[in-house]
Amino acid sequence: MFNLGLKPNHVTYNTLMDGYCMEGNLKAALNVRARMEKERKQPNVVTYNVLIKGYCKIDKLEAANNLLNEMLEKGLNPNHNTYDIVSLEMLEKGFIPDIEGHLYNISSMSWEELEMKD
């Protein structure tokens, strides 16, 4: 794709990362993220959701928690997919995320606000 002069967008990058994460290949997914950032495309909430879920899939819950905190520190608001990942992939495995003081900001959002973030 790059050799043809095509410029991938967020959807392209996120789709590639999701594919790698579904295979359990976080190294390749993180390489795609690095390429994305090199191309001056900042990760969005979908990017973080894909990577957080990828880490959960391979039971690296602490790394998933670190990404969740990074997302929040960058001012990105979680959406309903983020909550599903935390609930289904973390809490159901007995892992309680430590979101370093961000809980108040997250819990004050309504479902309508979360759905608008997609």
Alpha-carbon span 52 to 46, nearest angstrom: 10
Tokens 């969740």 — which residue? 68
Alpha-helical regions (H) of 6-94? 10-22, 26-38, 45-57, 61-73, 80-85
Q: How many CB atoms lie within 10 A of CB 99?
A: 17
Contact 68, 77 (CB under 8 A): no
What are the residue boundaries of the structural domains of the chain, listed by start?
2-116
Query: Which pLDDT score, from 0 to 100, does residue 100 have?
Result: 61
Q: Which pLDDT belongs to residue 96?
A: 84
**Tens-binned pLDDT, residue by residue, of the chain (118 aa):** 656 778 899 999 999 999 999 999 999 999 999 999 999 999 999 999 999 999 999 999 999 999 999 999 999 988 999 989 988 988 888 888 877 655 544 444 555 554 554 4
User: For the domain bounded by 2-116, which CATH number is listed?
Assistant: 1.25.40.10
